Amino acid sequence: MARIVVKFGGTSMANIERIRHSARHVKREIEAGNQVTVVVSAMSGKTNELVGWVNEGSKLHDAREYDAVVASGEQVTAGLMAIVLSEMGVQSRSFAGWQVPIHTDDSHGAARITGIDPTELDKRMNEGWVPVVTGFQGISPHGRITTLGRGGSDTSAVAVAAAVGADRCDIYTDVDGVYTTDPRIVPKAQRMTKISFEEMLEMASLGAKVLMIRSVEMAMAHKVRLTVRSSFDDPDAPQIGPDGRPGVPGTLVCDEDEIMEKQIVSGVTLAKAEAKITLRDVKDSPGVAAAIFGTLADKGIIVDMIVQNIADDGATTDITFTVPDSEYEKAVKALESNGGRFEYARLSGSRGGAKVSVVGVGMRSHAGVAASMFKALADKGINIQLITTSEIKTSVLIDEEYAELAVRALHTYYGLDRKDA
Ligand code: ADP
Ligand code: ASP
Ligand code: MG
The answer to whether residues 9 and 172 touch, using CB atoms and an 8 Å cutoff, is yes
The helix/strand/coil state of 127 is coil
- Residues around ligand 3, an ion, CB closer than 5 A: 9, 151
pLDDT of residue 258: 87
The answer, yes or no, to whether any atom of ligand 2 lies below 6 A from the CB of 136, is yes
Same topology for domains 3-256 and 267-413, yes or no?
no
Sign of CA dihedral 100, 104, 109, 110: negative
254-304 pLDDT tens trace: 998 888 777 889 999 999 999 999 999 998 888 999 999 999 999 989 999
The string of pLDDT tens digits covering residues 382-412 is 999 999 999 999 999 999 999 999 999 999 9
pLDDT tier, 59 (very low <50, low <70, confident <90, very high otherwise) = confident
Give start and end residues of each alpha helix (H) in 279-348: 288-298, 328-336
Average pLDDT over residues 245-257: 93
Q: How confident is the model at residue 315 (pLDDT cuts 50, 70, 90)?
A: confident
AA identity, residue 305 = M
Q: What percent of the chain lies above the pLDDT cut of 70?
A: 100
Nearest CA to ligand 1 atom 12: 210
Please report, in range form, the residues annotated as the binding site.
7-10, 47, 74, 173-174, 179, 184, 209-210
pTM of the model: 0.91
The CATH class of 3-256 is alpha beta
**Gap from CA of 223 to ligand 3 centroid (Å):** 21
Measured in Å, residue 119 CA sits from the centre of ligand 2 at 26
User: Would you say the CB of residue 147 lies under 6 angstroms from ligand 2?
Assistant: no
Residue type, 13: M
Tell me the domain boundaries of the chain.
3-256, 267-413
- The average confidence (pLDDT) of the chain is 95
Mean pLDDT throughout 165-180? 97
CA 109 – ligand 1 centroid, Å = 21
Q: Which protein residue has the closest C-alpha to ligand 2 atom 8?
A: 151
Kindly give the pairing relationship between strand 168-173 and strand 226-230. parallel
In whole angstroms, what is the distance from residue 249 CA to residue 237 CA? Answer: 11
What is the CATH class of 267-413? alpha beta
- Give residues with Cβ within 8 angstroms of 224, minimum separation 6: 158, 161, 162, 166, 168, 169, 218
The verdict on the CB of residue 8 being under 6 Å from ligand 2 is no
Site to substitute for ligand 2 among 43, 76, 136, 212, most atoms within 8 A of C-beta: 136
**Tell me, what amino acid is at 275?**
A
Side chain identity, residue 229:
R
Of 47, 74, 213, best ligand 2 pocket probe by most atoms within 8 Å of the beta carbon = 47
Does the pLDDT of residue 421 top 70, yes or no?
Answer: no
Q: Which residues have any ligand 1 atom within 6 Å of their CB?
A: 9-12, 41, 151, 173-175, 178-179, 181-184, 208-210
Of 61-75, 146-160, 244-258, 298-312, the least confident: 298-312
The whole-number pLDDT of residue 356 equals: 97
Mean pLDDT of 47-59: 96
Residue nearest to atom 6 of ligand 2 (CA): 151
